[in-house]
Each structure stands twice: as C-alpha cells, then as structure tokens.
Structure 1
Amino acid sequence: MAAAAPVLAQGSGSIWSCRDKEGKTHVTNIRSDTEGMDCRVVEERVTVVPGGGSSSSSPRAKAQPPSGFPRETPAKRASAKDKQRQILEQELEQERALLEKSKNALAEQEAVRYGDERNYARVLARLKPYQDTVELHQKNVEALERELALLDK
C-alpha cells in the first residue's frame, strides 16, 4: 500500500486537456504529464450518452411495421416449424450414421496390433484420432436431440 502512495500523490483533483506538438489531444490528471504541452483545465463534467434512434420528444408506445411488411400467419409458422423439424431429423439421421461408422472404425483399429507398438502409449496415440471422431459425432447427436426437444416446446 505504501508503494501506491507516490502514484496517488501525483494525481490531483484537476483534469487537463492538452495538445502536444503534433496536434494530438491528451487528457490526464497528472500534472507532470502536462509539461511541454498546451494545456487547459477541464472544469465541466463530460457525459457520454449512447445514441438513440430518432430524437422525437414523445416515447413510442409500440413499434409499427411498415404497411407493406409481410406478416407471419400461424399456418406459415407451423409450416416453417415442420420444415425445421424435418431438416433436424435428417441431420440427426446422418450424424447417427456417421457415429456408427466411426465406432466401427474405432473397433477395427482396437482389434489390430502392429509389431512396432510394443509400447501401449503408441497404441493409444494411434487410436486417439478415432476416439476423437467418435466423441465429436456423439456430441453432435446429443446437440441435435436437444435442439429437437426444444422445438417441441
């Protein structure tokens, strides 16, 4: 805490806005940083207000879409939901097929033992890409099943 005291002592209650010789503006509260620059004390408080859409004085009660804007009907919404479900089910079936294929490839590789693999770490290193592929497809299947479950809600 004693080490922070000299740093705090440099700062003061004044804030300076300074221009250096190249014309760049610097804002500081440390007096020693203002040496050799054209500085002035900033007395007003600077407030940043995020920009809004329009600057109308009355608040909008409800946003109205343009008159030619297409509206979604319940029938269109149901149709879109059915189409989304079909696509997800197709993706799920494809992912399950890939998962089964990668599991078979892993099982084949686990059954094979090469002569240069006396060390079990080499066997694990050879199997790692197959295990990663199985894990990836398993996660994809789980994600698609979750998405289908959320679609039912």
Structure 2
Amino acid sequence: MKHLPLFALLGGMISGMAQAEIYKYVDSEGRVTYSNMPIRGAKKLDLGPAQVISSPRRGEGGGNPSSASRSPTPSDFPKVDTSTQKQRDQGRRKILEDEMRSEQQLLDTARKALSEGEQVRTGEERNNYQKYLDRVANLRNEVTLHEKNIQALNKEISNLK
C-alpha cells in the first residue's frame, strides 16, 4: 500500500505527457481530424510549450476589470476621442431603449394572449386536457421570455455611462 501514492503520481505524470501530444489527420476527402491519440497517417504537431497566463488573486484587484492592476493599453491601440465615444454611447442607448419599447409591447401582447388562452379550451382540448396544458405552457413561456429580455435590456441600459 505504500507504493500506491507513487503509482498515482507516475500515472498523473504520464497522462499529463500524453495530453500534450496532438495529432492532425487529413482523410482522402480532405476532412481534418485532431486527436490526442496517434492515428495511422497522422502528423504529430509541435505546439511548443504551453503559455500560462495567471489571473490576479482575490484582493489583488482581479475582481474589477476596470481596476488599475490590469495591463496597460498598448500605445498603438486605436483611441477614440471623447465626443465620438459619447455619440456611440448615445446611439447605443437609443437602440437599447427602442428595443425595450418593442420588447414591452411584445410582453403586453404575450400577457394578453396568455390571459385569453387560459380562459378558453378548444374542441380538441376539451377531450384532451394535456393539449390545453401544453398550449398554456407555451403561452407562459412566451411571457417569461419577454420578461427576461426586458431584464437583460434594463441591465444593459443601467451599465451605460
């Protein structure tokens, strides 16, 4: 039993090495397959060493993407002047508000359809109650969808400066 941890460690190392090998296979029809298992006729890809990028730990400014600890913007990164950005933000706000009005109308229509749909059973539904339940469930799903869309739009609008 003393050797069990050693076997587990060796097994982990071997599996780690096997995962680092990637093979590319192109069949007779030109379809490309990538695999970590060798395939006859496949070429082993040399991907070089893996690049590890670590994120800041809690308490080191990593929780807020606008924190000062993030890497600076490259000097050649395109810059937008303040008035142009303001115009873009105003345009985005208008689009989101238009979408909100549209979504609110769709929600009102869906709620009305649900209210009316719950009160009436069609001929088929009188004989098959499950059909009624399914139809009403679809109407409820429509209402829920529009409510979630409105919540998402409200969140986007509140995030604007």
Query: Which TM bucket (shorter chain)?
Result: 0.5 to 0.7
User: 1:50 Cα shift?
Assistant: 3.0
Aligned 1:42-61 pairs, distance under 5 A: 48=49, 50=51
1:63 aligns with 2:64: no
Cα RMSD after superposing both structures: 3.9
Q: Alpha carbons of 1:97 and 1:63: their partners in 2 closer, same or farther (altered >3 Å)?
A: same
Per the alignment, residue 58 of structure 2 pairs with: none
State the distance in 2 between where 1:75 and 1:88 align: 20
Counterpart-to-counterpart distance in 2, 1:88 and 1:110: 32
* Aligned residue-pair number: 109
* Residues 113-134 of structure 1, C-alpha deviations (whole Å, 9 max, x = no match): 2344356444211211111111
The structure where strand makes up a greater share of residues is 1
Which of 90, 94, 113 aligns to 1:86? It is 94
In structure 2, the partner of 1:73 is 81
**Structure with greater Cα Rg:** 1
Give the letter aligned to residue 100 of structure 1.
D
Provide closer, same or farther for how the CA distance between residues 90 and 24 of structure 1 changes in structure 2, counting only shifts above 3 A: closer
Measure the CA separation in 2 of the matches of 1:23 and 1:118.
63
TM-score (normalizing by structure 1): 0.56
Matches of 1:24 and 1:119 in 2, distance apart? Answer: 58
Which fold has the larger relative contact order, with Cα–Cα distance below 8 Å and residues 6 or more apart in sequence?
A: 1
Structure 1: 4+ residue segments shifted above 3 A: 22-26, 118-122
Alpha carbons of 1:123 and 1:72: their partners in 2 closer, same or farther (altered >3 Å)? Answer: same
* TM-score of the two chains, using structure 2 as the length reference: 0.53
Which amino acid letter does the alignment assign opposite residue 155 of structure 2?
A: R
Alignment partner of 1:146 is 2:155:
yes
Consecutive unaligned residues of structure 1, counting only runs of 5 or more, are: 16-21, 27-46, 52-60
Equivalent position of 1:38 in the other structure: none
